[in-house]
């Protein structure tokens, strides 16, 4: 019988199930902030390591590639060794590699340290979500995901101003050392409050499937990263994408023949999981592009400093955190389908609207308002899309569903950055040869158009999909009894 917080008395386990999102969020915030905080410090790090900022972007690519390689095996590893042990180990690896990053004295050392850090991050996010799903009753899943969504949204927004402040007033090494106290708090909370979930007995790891999925995900992520943030020749990126596509096709054939594939494609026959993966992927392409486009527009287009632009983007984090308090009531009142359709459309509109409000004079108020609203609706969307993925997945397959969702998330975010970079490159080629405000405006509008495609899979799910998780089922039953 899978672990559940309800296997003992309700009075004993209820506080633990309520605390799970907070415990998981500590580690996830550390990871999400770390993945973006480095961007503002690249010039300073490059100067100390005696290399160029473009070459140093290999370190960012190494982190993303490590995620792509090891995420597919995260579910199996959690089942085999126990989620609590794996999660604690992942945080320890992440912290240790952060110390190595701060001590790096060469480009090669730094790239290797970032790759190891990505290995730890690959275990943290999927395993945290797995623990949350298994440890939370279905009718509390939306509330739990609302809390877990906050670090995913706030981290990329808080990271740039924090990174800019530390780099300006201290030293770039402290960007990585701030992971240590955050990680220690997370480990202490996990050790004290997270129950020891039983170790399952999964089938032997599908090694062929693992290498094919890892090759597909890492090839696409690496290729997209090289194209969007050229630290190598673009040809390397194109070759990597083609290799990733070949591995993906090979895995599709392998998964239909293997008895226990590492990521069972049969899971996509579940309408809610399929809609979550497909719709969320299109949406995350836009979300992955915005943190790349917005700081560049504010700094290159409007001449703001890294710290000033980071303080502007921070307003979106305020909106994201505020929406948590209304998320449960909104999903209970309307259900998944209409809320995800509405928030998907509103998010797309808010991204396109960024192009209309430059950060100067009275127009700055409009930009702040757009970013605040964007934070509201994105938080609500991610809360719903993350919960929707699990509402109909059998308990025995939550690990595979978690890994599948995580692979799709990382790949789509990398594609989003690449798409944004390609749009800017196209405006350079067909325009004046310089990045202008118009270049960024075009990029925001096109990215917003791609985001709207994420609403199409939501139209295909049932209106009452996930009624138990959203609370609509309980509400309807109470009304009927009355």
Q: Quick one: which of 149, 79, 458 has its CA closest to 278? A: 458
Q: Quick one: which of 51, 57, 59, 124 has its CA closest to 93? A: 124
pLDDT at position 479 is 43
Q: 420 is written with which tokens?
A: 């944004």
d(CA 439, CA 297): 9
Q: Quick one: which of 71, 333, 94 has its CA closest to 210? A: 71
Helix (H) / strand (E) element for 295: namely helix 271-296
d(CA 406, CA 33): 18
Q: What are phi and psi of 205, to 5 degrees?
A: -60, 135
Instruction: Going residue by residue through the chain, which has 482 residues, state the pLDDT in tens, using 9 for 90 and above.
Output: 344 443 343 334 334 455 667 777 777 777 777 766 776 677 778 888 887 766 777 787 788 888 888 988 888 898 888 888 898 999 999 999 999 998 988 888 998 999 999 899 888 878 888 877 877 777 777 777 777 766 666 666 667 677 777 777 778 888 888 888 888 988 888 888 777 776 677 788 899 999 999 999 889 888 887 776 666 777 888 899 999 999 999 999 999 998 889 989 889 999 999 999 999 999 988 887 887 788 778 877 787 776 677 677 777 767 777 776 788 888 888 889 999 999 999 999 999 998 888 777 666 788 888 888 888 888 889 888 988 988 888 877 888 888 888 888 888 887 887 788 788 878 877 876 777 888 888 999 999 999 999 999 999 888 887 777 776 654 444 444 43
- In contact, 124 and 84? CB cutoff 8 Å: no
| Plot region of 279 (φ>0 → left; ψ -120 to 50 → alpha; else → beta) | alpha
CB atoms inside a 10 Å sphere around CB 356: 13
d(CA 431, CA 433): 6
Q: How many helices (H) and strands (E) does the chain have?
A: 19, 0
d(CA 160, CA 164): 6
Q: What is the pTM of this model?
A: 0.78
Token pair 């509390």 in the structure block, residue: 140
pLDDT at position 7 is 37
What is the DSSP-derived secondary structure letter of residue 391? T
d(CA 409, CA 31): 15
């Amino acid at each position: 019988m899978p672990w559940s917080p309800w296997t003992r008395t309700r009075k004993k386990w209820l506080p633990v199930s309520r605390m799970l999102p907070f415990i998981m969020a500590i580690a996830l915030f550390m990871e999400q902030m770390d993945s973006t905080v480095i961007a503002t410090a690249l010039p300073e790090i490059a100067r100390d390591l005696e290399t160029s900022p473009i070459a140093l972007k290999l370190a960012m690519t190494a982190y993303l590639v490590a995620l792509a390689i090891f995420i597919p095996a995260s579910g199996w590893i959690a089942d085999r060794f126990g989620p609590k042990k794996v999660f604690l180990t992942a945080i320890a690896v992440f912290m240790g590699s952060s110390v190595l990053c701060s001590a790096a004295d060469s480009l090669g050392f730094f790239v290797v340290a970032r790759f190891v850090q990505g290995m730890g991050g690959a275990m943290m996010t999927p395993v945290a979500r797995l623990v949350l799903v298994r440890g939370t009753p279905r009718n509390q899943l939306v509330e739990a995901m609302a809390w877990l969504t906050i670090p995913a949204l706030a981290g990329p927004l808080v990271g740039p101003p924090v990174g800019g402040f530390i780099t300006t007033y201290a030293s770039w090494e402290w960007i990585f050392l701030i992971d240590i106290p955050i990680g220690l708090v997370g480990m202490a909370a996990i050790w004290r409050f997270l129950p020891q979930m039983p170790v399952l007995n999964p089938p032997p790891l599908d090694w062929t499937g693992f290498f094919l999925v890892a090759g597909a995900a890492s090839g696409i992520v690496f290729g997209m990263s090289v194209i969007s943030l050229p630290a190598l020749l673009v040809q390397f990126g194109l070759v990597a994408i083609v290799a990733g596509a070949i591995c993906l096709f090979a895995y599709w054939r392998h998964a239909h023949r293997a008895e226990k594939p590492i990521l069972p494609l049969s899971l996509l026959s579940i309408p809610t999981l399929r809609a979550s993966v497909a719709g969320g992927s299109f949406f995350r392409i836009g979300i992955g592009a915005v943190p790349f486009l917005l700081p560049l527009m504010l700094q290159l287009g409007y001449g703001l400093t890294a710290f000033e632009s980071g303080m502007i983007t921070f307003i979106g984090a305020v909106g994201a955190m505020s929406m948590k308090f209304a998320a449960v009531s909104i999903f209970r009142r309307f259900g998944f389908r209409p809320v995800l359709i509405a928030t998907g459309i509103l998010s797309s509109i808010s991204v396109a609207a960024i192009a209309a409000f430059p950060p100067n004079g009275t127009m700055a108020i409009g930009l702040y308002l757009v970013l605040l609203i964007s934070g509201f609706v994105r938080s609500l969307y991610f809360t719903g899309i993350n919960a929707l993925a699990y509402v109909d997945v059998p308990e025995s397959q939550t690990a595979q569903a978690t890994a599948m969702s995580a692979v799709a998330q990382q790949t789509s975010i990398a594609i989003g950055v690449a798409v944004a970079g390609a749009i800017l490159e196209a405006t350079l080629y067909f325009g004046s040869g310089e990045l202008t405000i118009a270049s960024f405006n075009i990029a925001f509008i096109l990215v917003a158009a791609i985001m709207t495609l994420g609403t199409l899979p939501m139209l295909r799910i049932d209106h009452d999909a996930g009624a138990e998780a959203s609370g609509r089922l309980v509400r309807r039953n109470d009304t009927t009894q009355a």
